[in-house]
Amino acid sequence: MSKKTVKNRHTSNKAAAKQTSAKTQGAAKEAAAGKALKDESNRIFQERLARHHDELRWLYMELYDNDDMFAELCSQMKEYYDQRNQSLRALDAKRGSEGKWYRKRDMVGMMMYIDNFAGSIKGVQEKLSYLEQCNVNYIHLMPFLDSPKGRSDGGYAVADFRKVKPELGTMDDLAELAEKCHEKGISLCMDFVMNHTSEDHEWAVKARQRDGEYMSRYFFYADPSIPQEYEKTVPQVFPTTAPGNFTYLPELGHYVMTTFYPYQWDLNYRNPRVFNEMMYNFLYLANQGMDIIRIDAVPYIWKELGTNCRNLQQVHTIVRMMRMIGEIVCPGIVLLGEVVMEPEKVAPYFGTVEKPECHMLYNVTTMAATWNTVATRDIRLLRKQMDIVCSLPKEYTFLNYLRCHDDIGWGLDYATLSEWGMKEVPHKKYLNDYFQGKTEGSVSRGELYNEDLVTGDARFCGTTASMCGIESAGFERDEVKMDHAITKDVMLHAYMFTQSGIPMLYSGDEIGQVNDYTYKEDADKAPDSRYIHRGKFCWDLVEKIKEKDSVQGRIFNALSELEAIRRKEAMFSADAEVYTKDYSDSSILWIVRKTEKEELHAVFNFSDVDKTVWMPETAEYTDLLTGKRETIEKTVLPSWDFLWLKK
């Protein structure tokens, strides 16, 4: 080797050494920065845990009295926190500093079945621009987790909480969709079906093989006397499509509790393993980028012999724990409780201001009372219901809707109705006849659901458009009827937008999609009339929204206009003062929304005749729909139409 080469090598060695040392320094710096980041992230977790630890532990011990399982829960919370990606953590932080992000008045939700709407999760991603065109910034994807074909209850029988139905895509597709949605300021909601699993879920399969550990995650009884005892006090969810609350498994010689369908096995939350594992599933799903978790059928999750197994105190303990677990691991997310119960049972699911449970609840009684008003043309009950909602703390956020994927149960205030001469059984019959279009003058179309021949009870299914008469007018090619039907449809949406909370559209309603009767041709769906309003989304109708005079164009544009007004006008904010006004006509519903500076008078004519409405005082009002400002003393409000007047 020549001297030169040695020298060269020497110099290059030196350079290399210098480089290596720079590299080491860089790496050390990086490691230090990484450590600082990790320390900071640990600190955040510990701080949140500390905030809730004592209460969480107290409640956990009250239910389970099990220190080991509590310790496991805490260490798993840390695991899921560590797994939560940076952008979701950043969103948590942003939402934390913004206050209640989901209460902004520009929120517009839409719920949809992935397959009906766009075939797959990737398909939904491709259709985001359409959803933006609908002003939607909150998407509820109906159940999409793996569930057995033909035994799925519309996806509410989950076989694997960590797997997407293969025909819809993968978990990665979901996480990618969430990311794309977040870029556009759209939030994603999914169902967390925590009351039961599918009989094909791994736990159920093992339980069926007589594995005691797994049997203890459900309710199994060899002796029929206990199921019989339960049946004495537990009402039926599906009296005709799935009667009874238990299913006999001959191969096991056991009864298993199945409050919903026989293939949906109720989970036993007395077992801490069930609670812990279900919380891990919840956190796993939250970490896929979900913003809103809809807790399905939550009132049912605790069972107690001798009770109706609904809304028991332990349910509230569990929801409160879930809220705290969310606040520790993923505080940006919102819990939406599905509490389809009588009004006095609903509000307790908000918890208290110091100990909140759900962030948001369905405004189910208002929804049912709205349709009651459509059928009776009598606003008294709806007004009473609105007064109850308006008297609740403003922090309570309701999800308002006209239609969803389920039937309408006529859970109305019958004590009040009967004072007015409307008795429960005949009144329900009246409503069901009316909406089936059997009553003179009714333009509605739809079908009964779970008609109970013993009690005479039945619920109702149909789309908003069909219930408003768009289907019948289209069938009869009657333009005058069509005008009325569209007016009614838009008015009901305006009423929904007038309420505080988040308005939730049902996919297809924005283009007036009518009932789909093809479900009857599918043997799996035929017995469940809820499929009448779960039809495929009609993309060819979307084409027609460009035609301003088409049914689709008229509805779509009217809703867009209402949404734009709601976004713009501060009177629609969640903090506005809201009350109903006593007006001398029982078909006129009058709502006032007030801020410091302005006053909205929202007036709805729930009758078949035009009415003259007298303003409380002759003053200048701006018609928010026309933009016209003028002095109004009285005005004619056409049948099924509404006014949004700003003072």
Which residues are near ligand GLC by CB under 6 A?
A: 153-154, 156, 193, 260, 296-297, 338, 405-406
Residue 549 φ/ψ, nearest 5 degrees:
-95, 0
Which residues of 303-402 form beta strands (DSSP E)?
334-337, 360-362, 397-401
**335 versus 624: smaller Cβ distance to ligand GLC:** 335
Nearer of residues 117 and 265 to ligand GLC, judged by Cβ: 265
- At closest approach, how far in Å is the CB of 266 from ligand GLC? 10
DSSP letters for 136-165: --EEEE---EE--TTSSTTTTS-SEEEEE-
Nearest CB to ligand GLC, comparing residues 297 and 637: 297
Q: Which helix (H) or strand (E) holds 202?
A: helix 202-208
Q: For residues 304 and 406, which CB has a smaller minimum distance to ligand GLC in the complex?
A: 406
Q: How far apart are CA 207 and CA 615, in angstroms?
A: 66
State which residue, 528 or 569, has the beta carbon closest to ligand GLC: 528
Give the residue at shortest CB distance from ligand GLC. Answer: 156
What tokens does 159 get? 């076989």
C-alpha span between 114 and 122 (Å, rounded)? 9
CA distances from 433 to 230, 374, 442, 443, 636 (A): 33, 13, 9, 11, 31
- CB distance 285 to 190 below 8 Å: yes
For residues 398 and 434, which CB has a smaller minimum distance to ligand GLC in the complex? Answer: 398
Q: Which two tokens stand for residue 283?
A: 């956190």
Interatomic CA distance for residues 75 and 558, integer angstroms: 51
Return d(Cα 103, Cα 122) in angstroms, integer: 29
Least distance in Å: CB of 153 to ligand GLC? 5
With respect to ligand GLC, which residue has the nearer C-beta, 203 or 260? 260
Least Cβ distance, residue 120 to ligand GLC (angstroms):
21
Do residues 533 and 403 lie in contact, with contact meaning Cβ atoms separated by under 8 Å? yes
Smallest gap from Cβ 637 to ligand GLC, in A, equals: 36
How many helices (H) and strands (E) would you count in the chain?
A: 22, 23
CB 428 to ligand GLC: min, Å: 19
Q: Smallest distance from the beta carbon of 159 to ligand GLC, in angstroms?
A: 13
Q: Residue 295 Cβ, how far from ligand GLC at the closest point, in Å?
A: 10
Ordered alpha helix ranges (H), 65-138:
67-83, 86-98, 114-118, 121-126, 128-133
CA distance 372 to 131: 30
Nearest approach in angstroms of CB 143 to ligand GLC is 8
Nearer residue to ligand GLC within complex by CB, 406 or 451: 406
